[in-house]
């Protein structure tokens, strides 16, 4: 179906794979629904090759993996998708075949494969959407050839707050909590302050975040005072009435 082919094109391009081969598509080709669901992977569809048989589509490849959700009664080595990387080598032309979503690959299709590959799933509900299955394979391959683990750094540039700034902030809120009677009973006061210190010191707050928190607590403090004044005024009005 066009929608499935488009989703597959998008899935493989997410992981830097660009060569798509389509065997006997049910839809007319090229297909507008495929183009619509491919989003930014229209180039993958444009360069996709169409074949009339699976045999012709794999003729130039060195090793074939077949995806299947079922354990078949065939004389094939069955591996998990997580072990795919152990079988793939850079100097080999690799192909991975996926069957129609409704029926999967036939035993005749699987006969062309070197390995049968299974994605571990819920035993009672193992059928996957075609593009979902494809993206799991592509993710494993991408990770294998990417080499070292990726390190991601935030672009957030505010400097980490100095411990002295954190301590000033803590002194500010503890003083106000004490005035509000929050640090009660007295015999638990030290442990409560210790817990408050632990919370804020382990957050690695930036200086900007410290300023924001100071503003929040100051605003809440002013709000509470205003609320208390409003209640006193209301009480006086009621007494006069």
Binned at pLDDT 50, 70 and 90, residue 52 comes out as very high
Binned at pLDDT 50, 70 and 90, residue 140 comes out as very high
pLDDT for 228 = 43
pLDDT for 234 = 52
pLDDT in tens, 198-209: 999 888 888 888
* Residue 88 in tokens: 């793939």
Residue 224 has pLDDT above 70, yes or no: no
pLDDT for 226 = 52
pLDDT in tens, 162-197: 888 999 999 988 998 888 888 888 889 999 999 999
pLDDT for 91 = 84
Yes or no: say if 173 and 196 are a contact pair by the CB < 8 Å rule.
yes
Residue 3 has pLDDT above 70, yes or no: yes
pLDDT in tens, 58-76: 999 999 999 987 777 778 8
pLDDT for 227 = 54
pLDDT for 38 = 94
Binned at pLDDT 50, 70 and 90, residue 241 comes out as very low
Domains within the chain, CATH numbers bracketed = 2-146 (3.40.1280.10), 163-240 (no CATH)
Binned at pLDDT 50, 70 and 90, residue 45 comes out as very high
Please list, residue by residue across 101-115, b when 16 or more beta carbons sit within 10 angstroms of its beta carbon and e when fewer do: eeebbeeebbebbeb
Give pTM, 2 decimals.
0.67
**What SS3 state is found at 138?**
helix
The mean pLDDT value for 147-161 works out to: 73
Yes or no: say if 97 and 64 are a contact pair by the CB < 8 Å rule.
yes
**105 compared with 70, residue with greater pLDDT:** 105
Yes or no: say if 15 and 139 are a contact pair by the CB < 8 Å rule.
yes
Residue 83, preceding peptide bond in cis (omega within 30° of 0): no
């Amino acid at each position: 179906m066009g929608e499935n082919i488009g989703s597959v094109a998008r899935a493989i391009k997410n992981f830097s794979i660009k060569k798509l081969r389509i065997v006997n598509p049910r839809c007319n080709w090229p297909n507008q629904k495929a183009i619509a669901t491919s989003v930014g992977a229209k180039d993958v569809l444009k360069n996709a090759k169409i074949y009339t048989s699976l045999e012709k589509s794999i003729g130039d490849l060195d090793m074939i993996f077949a995806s299947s959700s079922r354990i078949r009664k065939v004389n094939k080595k069955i591996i998990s998708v997580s072990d795919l990387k152990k079988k793939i080598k850079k100097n080999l032309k690799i192909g991975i075949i996926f069957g129609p979503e409704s029926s999967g690959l036939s035993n005749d299709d699987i006969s062309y494969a070197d390995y049968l590959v299974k994605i571990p799933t819920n035993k009672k509900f193992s059928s996957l959407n075609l593009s979902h299955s494809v993206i799991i394979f592509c993710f494993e391959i991408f990770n294998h050839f990417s080499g070292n683990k990726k390190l991601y750094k935030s672009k957030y540039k505010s400097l980490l707050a100095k411990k002295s700034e954190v301590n000033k902030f803590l002194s500010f809120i503890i003083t106000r909590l004490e005035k509000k009677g929050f640090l009660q009973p007295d015999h638990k006061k030290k442990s409560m302050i210790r817990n408050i210190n632990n919370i804020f010191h382990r957050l690695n707050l930036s200086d900007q975040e410290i300023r924001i928190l100071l503003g929040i607590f100051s605003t809440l403090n002013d709000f509470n005072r205003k609320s208390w004044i409003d209640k006193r005024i209301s009480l006086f009005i009621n007494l006069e009435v």
